[in-house]
Chain A
């Protein structure tokens, strides 16, 4: 029976509450950050300005030595050659200096370079300043003029000849803090996602399941089901409310039992006319039994929503531990690089990422049945423990060889936790809430991909790569604790009770030579993954650092990608489901992804790189949801022959092999064409695949609405 109108509001109702709460929390956080920034600015200005003035004095002394050397050769002070060029070098090498000038003993400017601040000439002519120039014992003086700071140094041979002035840009503290501000902005975005995750973890899971159960209760009672549940309720508002409904149902059940007992009693002792008189009552009871149900409720395995929600926090923490390393891993590998004969350093840098992806790709199909056997929670505990050791050991890696070993541990742990968590969701969901269960699963991963790389980049820049890996290990430990708090009892629904298995070689071979299957897998799924790992996990971190930027900036870039995914995937999934032309979404996604790297043909500017990541995120978001749905849509014949598990198993295996191939392909392209060339070439490959897929998929039939819902 469908739920009553107005009762279905709980989920949206809760989300409205969450967003309002998140808004208030963000407002408070913004205020707090403003306070911290204001005081930090004051500290920066007070402490950095004197140090910079000291530096300006040292620079000025060095320039003065040069000037004195030249005048020592007899060149008149007012006719020195190359002074402005020297000033230009000084300003270029020290971005905090905005202007340099040489004045005579009367404060007249002889040579200058840079942006002259307002009031500088008046300052140079001030008697107090000129007096310093005429004082043979004076060292240097400093003064704030307007917003800027001027450091003045007297120049004297056997007699005073003039003064050298260096202007420190008053904006330089703001410029220093601007970079902090970008990171603070990242912290704000991450805080918003943390807020929503925590609201869900600390209050929402209980609220959602409580309100969900309330709605379920309403639906049951509308359907005439008054069976009593023997659940232990929490002592909070929702728990108390559910207890009261339980009590009302209990009253009804007691009354029913009493009436049934009384009727039974009377029927047993009655005979003849008396028995006839009881017939209307017996009829009424029969009618009640047909319409209503009393007694004890069956134990339901389908509605374990509370425990389903509990997977989100450990999964989020675990994935976050891995995502933290995304923005700096290639640069860390670069530090530990050893020469491997026959392999270019660029390829060697990509090896740990490739190995990680390969282990995950090959391990996942077979770890599913393993986690079935030993239990989801236990599998997750083992996986998270192995990964924790991997993260910890990576932080103290000696060279590339042991790093490969430690990253392999991380990969094994990752594959175990991923598969077991997927199984956990499958175990606790039925047909009616499977999509909701996987939305929760994917949601946790997506939020981790938004928060991880950006925070990881910030950490790496400030505390170094090794300590950042130690932080990852600590986060993995937190995930271990959260996993340990999951219910230890295993649950099986009808679907999940069926043992899962990895694809067999026979099936892999047959599907590899199947044109329809390979059109989708080889031209869409694999290239999409190749460009993702090749560009995001390998090229972006390395390229950004190679052009003098930081890991934090690489993290911000990867955050752009993740935010695009979070925003666009739900929208594109809905639209592609509605339009039933999923192939068009896949084509458009691939072509946009393919065009992304080509932007670097226009310019290598930072803004263009931002555009590359933006377009890549958009392209991937458009195609990702439609791709896997297309397998069921267009490979129905193959699914009929080999089975759903086998077809999807091979599809996922090949897709993940694309993940492993991405860094390898990107690194080889870097060897031949450099970073920009690699961006362009890998994008061109994907663009070609996108166009080929578009042409090949023109023969695909548009499915009927019924078949489209996969």
Chain B
């Protein structure tokens, strides 16, 4: 197989690998972000219900730190969805004041949660912990000031497992597609570059018989380089004729 053909096939394989790889990458990340956002919005729905209860309490004049029934509500809501690992309500200093897990009350939430909550342009925010994803809602009072933050921790393994499973399938499909291209592209390229290769072969053969006089020895014609080869032959012929003339004159001189 000619080196040029090998190079063209390599180009086809590299480009296909790039395109298929990018496509797999895009599909995988789209799946991951879509499933992530579906799960997050499901968790936030639970959060919205809790927020409504908190807002109702605030509207009747209760202090944010004195909503006695909130801990029970958090426990109840946590048990309503197996995905939710825990629900915390923390203040602007990051201290947990209510939680579905009593042991967490009084503890500090990670700094990243607080930063994510403060940076969010809307009331909803999200953060990541080692084992959990966190979906949060900023609880605002009537003056639109954040009085606290609601954080719902949910298992990242569910999202990650689903993404990994989909990722494996997308990878398998991509490898299959690439394998198909690896077989198909060289065949298609061989057909397409046949004429080009024939031209190069003709050129190569013709270049090897530049000094041959008879058309039979000069090799095949009909390539895109015929006129160039013709020009080379004419130039060589003329030079040889000049040297023949010199030879003849030398011989004549004896």
Contacts of B24 in A (CB 8 A): 36
A58 touches B31 (CB 8 A): no
Contacts of B46 in A (CB 8 A): 58
Among the 9-residue stretches A100-108, A274-282, A496-504, A640-648, the one with 4 or more Cβ atoms under 8 Å from chain B is A274-282
B228 touches A241 (CB 8 A): no
Smallest distance from the beta carbon of A428 to chain B beta carbons, Å?
Answer: 23
CB of B120 closer than 8 Å to a CB of A:
no
B169 touches A39 (CB 8 A): yes
CB of B129 closer than 8 Å to a CB of A:
no
Contacts of A463 in B (CB 8 A): 29
Cβ-defined partner of A4 (8 Å) among B25, B80, B227, B242 = B227
- In the docked arrangement, what's the CA distance between A177 and B172, Å? 19
CB of B12 closer than 8 Å to a CB of A:
yes
- In the docked arrangement, what's the CA distance between A241 and B208, Å? 7
Cβ-defined partner of B227 (8 Å) among A7, A58, A61, A238 = A7
- In the docked arrangement, what's the CA distance between A188 and B253, Å? 74
CB of B118 closer than 8 Å to a CB of A:
no
> Could you tell me which residues of chain A, from 43 to 62, have a CB within 8 Å of some CB in chain B?
43-44, 47-48, 51-52, 54-55, 58-59, 61-62
A184 touches B181 (CB 8 A): no
Contacts of A23 in B (CB 8 A): 192
- In the docked arrangement, what's the CA distance between A258 and B14, Å? 53
- In the docked arrangement, what's the CA distance between A48 and B38, Å? 8
CB of B170 closer than 8 Å to a CB of A:
yes
Q: Convert B170-185 into 0s and 1s, putting 1 for each residue whose CB lies closer than 8 angstroms to a CB of A.
A: 1011101110110011
Smallest distance from the beta carbon of A543 to chain B beta carbons, Å?
Answer: 15
B42 touches A32 (CB 8 A): no
Q: Convert A382-402 into 0s and 1s, putting 1 for each residue whose CB lies closer than 8 angstroms to a CB of B.
A: 000000000000000000000
CB of A179 closer than 8 Å to a CB of B:
yes
CB of B224 closer than 8 Å to a CB of A:
yes
A51 touches B45 (CB 8 A): no
B38 touches A62 (CB 8 A): no
A17 touches B193 (CB 8 A): yes
B235 touches A222 (CB 8 A): yes
Contacts of B197 in A (CB 8 A): 237
> Could you tell me which residues of chain B, from 210 to 254, have a CB within 8 Å of some CB in chain A?
210-211, 224-228, 231-232, 234-236, 239-240, 242-243, 245-247, 249-250, 252-254
Residue of B nearest to A59 (CB): B45
Interface residues of B (CB under 8 A from A): 2-4, 7-8, 10-12, 14-16, 18-20, 22-27, 29-31, 33-35, 38-39, 41-42, 45-46, 48-49, 80-81, 162, 165-166, 169-170, 172-174, 176-178, 180-181, 184-185, 188-189, 192-193, 196-197, 200-201, 203-204, 207-208, 210-211, 224-228, 231-232, 234-236, 239-240, 242-243, 245-247, 249-250, 252-254
User: Which 3 A-B residue pairs are closest in the complex by CB-CB distance?
Assistant: A6-B227, A39-B173, A221-B235
Q: Convert A1-30 into 0s and 1s, putting 1 for each residue whose CB lies closer than 8 angstroms to a CB of B.
A: 000111101000100010011011101110
Contacts of B174 in A (CB 8 A): 36
Contacts of B176 in A (CB 8 A): 35, 39
5 additional A-B residue pairs with CB within 8 Å, beyond A259-B250, A463-B29: A21-B12, A35-B177, A36-B177, A280-B249, A284-B245
Cβ-defined partner of B20 (8 Å) among A36, A179, A251 = A36
B45 touches A284 (CB 8 A): no
Assuming the contacts A36-B177, A236-B2, asked whether A187 and B19 have C-beta atoms less than 8 A apart, the reply is yes
CB of A218 closer than 8 Å to a CB of B:
yes
A36 touches B23 (CB 8 A): yes
CB of A183 closer than 8 Å to a CB of B:
yes
Smallest distance from the beta carbon of B133 to chain A beta carbons, Å?
Answer: 14
Contacts of B236 in A (CB 8 A): 221, 248, 252
Smallest distance from the beta carbon of A504 to chain B beta carbons, Å?
Answer: 47
Contacts of B81 in A (CB 8 A): 58
A176 touches B210 (CB 8 A): no
B180 touches A287 (CB 8 A): no
- In the docked arrangement, what's the CA distance between A337 and B20, Å? 37
Contacts of A33 in B (CB 8 A): 19-20, 23, 177
Interface residues of A (CB under 8 A from B): 4-7, 9, 13, 17, 20-21, 23-25, 27-29, 31-33, 35-40, 43-44, 47-48, 51-52, 54-55, 58-59, 61-62, 65, 94, 176-177, 179-180, 183-184, 187-188, 191, 194-195, 198-199, 202-203, 207, 214-215, 217-218, 221-222, 224, 226, 235-238, 240-242, 244-245, 248, 251-252, 255-256, 259, 262-263, 266, 274, 277-278, 280-281, 284-285, 287-288, 291-292, 455, 458, 461-463
- In the docked arrangement, what's the CA distance between A32 and B176, Å? 9
Smallest distance from the beta carbon of B22 to chain A beta carbons, Å?
Answer: 5
- In the docked arrangement, what's the CA distance between A7 and B224, Å? 9
B19 touches A32 (CB 8 A): yes
Contacts of B23 in A (CB 8 A): 32-33, 36-37, 184, 187
Contacts of A281 in B (CB 8 A): 246, 249-250, 252-253
B27 touches A238 (CB 8 A): no
- In the docked arrangement, what's the CA distance between A191 and B48, Å? 45
- In the docked arrangement, what's the CA distance between A288 and B242, Å? 7
A280 touches B169 (CB 8 A): no
A180 touches B228 (CB 8 A): no
B38 touches A252 (CB 8 A): no
Smallest distance from the beta carbon of A51 to chain B beta carbons, Å?
Answer: 5
